[in-house]
């Protein structure tokens, strides 16, 4: 069709419509002036040829692109996938494009893969999983891209990145208080092995709060952030009697615990064991689970992310702390009755 290239270009359209290339360019530039007749002929020619403005070429002129890099690892995780669904839909509404990077597929070269996002001149890099090495944050700054960290640990120091954090400490305390109210006297917290991120904060706040009230806490920290980790934790922790409450730092983990406790370890939940999670993933509300959990609002998270994305490149970093709330369902005992404890 075009002769010289696979793609149809503005020159092709110009020739077809009998106008100059500049006219074509103007016809697709919002602020430009073209006569109605010229525009009509250009659009007609474009339609026939299947012409589309090449945004790759266009972006060479613009100070920043419409590309937003989104980085995740556990894309099949119920909460992460809900996050991604909400974020990508919101980006779509703003006419921003989402360049998705799944670091689970990148092996040891993850750092390099992350950097490669910048090759596409993304205006922002949003991190849903993993950590942000300061080298990468510096790279972003040098290339005029903002970096948004969602429930990630704060960067080393001085490194400028937007921070969006659900209130992990408050969430950990809420979970602890709720289990105590249920009369639990010997609890466990299940974390994955990941040493980064908000998950540690949730666990720490939980443990501290329990310690302050004299309740012993067993820590289980192996595996990745997955359902399977919850399964294995439950098998180990419930092998013998004792534990009467478990906090999974993630709904997915907590659901692994919950299901294994019931199906394999012969526990009645919440009668013998109370289980509580963190996230409020859609699946936690299903009748098969009824997981009591600490909710972080997806809407608030998405709105905050968009706010960060809208920031000018040189604007000072944003630090947003999002509130959390306890969602009561049926995986935690209603009140203390098995131990004759007075709820504070």
Smallest gap, in angstroms, from Cβ of residue 312 to DNA? 18
Q: Which residues in the 33-72 window bind a copy of itself by CB under 8 A? A: 49-50, 52-57, 59-60, 63-65, 70
Per-residue x/- track, 20-59, DNA (CB under 7 A)? xxxxxxx-xx-xxxxx-xx------------x-xx--xx-
Q: Per rule CB under 7 A, is residue 19 in the interface with DNA?
A: yes
Q: Which is nearer to a copy of itself, 113 or 208 (CB)?
A: 113
Q: Which residues in the 187-206 window bind DNA by CB under 7 A? A: none
Q: Which is nearer to a copy of itself, 103 or 225 (CB)?
A: 103
Q: Per rule CB under 8 A, is residue 259 in the interface with a copy of itself?
A: yes
One-letter-per-residue 3-state SS of the chain: CCCCCCCCCHHHHHHHHCCCHHHHHHHCCCCCCCCHHHHHHHHHHHHHHCCCCCHHHHCCCCCCCCEEEEEECCCCCHHHHHHHHHHHHHHHHCCCEEEEEEHHHCHHHHHHHHHHHHCCCCCEEEECCCCCCHHHHHHHHHCCCEEEEECCCCCCCCCCCEEEEECHHHHHHHHHHHHHHCCCCCEEEEECCCCCHHHHHHHHHHHHHHHHCCCCEEEEECCCCCHHHHHHHHHHHCCCCCCCEEEECCHHHHHHHHHHHHHCCCCCCCCCCEEEEEECCHHHHCCCCCCEEEEECHHHHHHHHHHHHHCCCCCCCCEEEECEEEECCCCCCCCCCCCCCCCC
Q: Which of DNA, a copy of itself, none has residue 88 at its interface (CB below 5 to 8 Å by kind)? A: a copy of itself
**Listed ranges 6-14, 30-38, 149-157, 196-204: which one lies at the site for a copy of itself (CB under 8 A):** 6-14
Q: Which of a copy of itself, DNA, none has residue 235 at its interface (CB below 5 to 8 Å by kind)? A: none
Q: Per rule CB under 8 A, is residue 111 in the interface with a copy of itself?
A: no
Q: Which residues in the 236-255 window bind a copy of itself by CB under 8 A? A: 255
**Listed ranges 29-37, 182-190, 202-210, 284-292: which one lies at the site for a copy of itself (CB under 8 A):** 284-292
């Amino acid at each position: 069709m075009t002769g010289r290239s696979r793609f149809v270009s503005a020159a092709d359209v110009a020739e077809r419509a009998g106008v100059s290339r500049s006219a074509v360019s103007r016809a697709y530039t919002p602020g430009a002036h073209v006569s109605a007749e010229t525009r009509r002929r250009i659009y007609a020619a474009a339609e026939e040829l299947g012409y589309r403005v090449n945004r790759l070429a266009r972006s060479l002129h613009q100070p920043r692109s419409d590309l937003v890099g989104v980085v995740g690892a556990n894309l099949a995780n119920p909460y992460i996938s809900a996050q991604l669904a909400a974020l990508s839909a919101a980006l779509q509404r703003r006419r921003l494009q989402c360049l998705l990077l799944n670091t689970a597929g990148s092996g040891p070269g993850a750092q390099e893969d992350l950097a490669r996002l910048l090759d596409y001149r993304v205006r922002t890099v949003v991190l849903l999983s993993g950590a942000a090495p300061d080298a990468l944050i510096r790279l972003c700054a040098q290339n005029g891209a903002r970096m948004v960290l969602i429930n990630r640990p704060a960067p080393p120091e001085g490194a400028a990145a937007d921070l969006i954090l659900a209130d992990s400490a408050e969430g950990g305390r809420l979970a602890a208080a709720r289990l105590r109210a249920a009369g639990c006297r010997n609890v466990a917290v299940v974390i994955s092995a990941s040493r980064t991120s908000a998950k540690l904060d949730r666990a720490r706040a939980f443990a501290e709060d329990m310690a302050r009230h004299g309740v012993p806490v067993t820590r289980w920290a192996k595996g990745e952030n997955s359902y399977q980790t919850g399964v294995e934790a439950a098998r180990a922790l419930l092998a013998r009697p004792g534990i009467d409450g478990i906090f999974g730092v993630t709904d997915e983990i907590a659901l692994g615990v919950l299901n294994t406790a019931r199906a394999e370890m012969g526990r009645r939940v919440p009668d013998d064991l109370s289980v509580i999670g963190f996230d409020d993933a859609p699946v936690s509300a299903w009748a098969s689970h009824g997981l009591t959990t600490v909710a972080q609002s997806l809407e608030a998270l998405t709105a905050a992310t968009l706010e960060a994305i809208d920031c000018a490149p040189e604007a000072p970093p944003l630090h947003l702390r999002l509130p959390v709330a306890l969602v009561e369902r049926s995986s935690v005992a209603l009140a203390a009755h098995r131990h004759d404890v007075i709820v504070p």
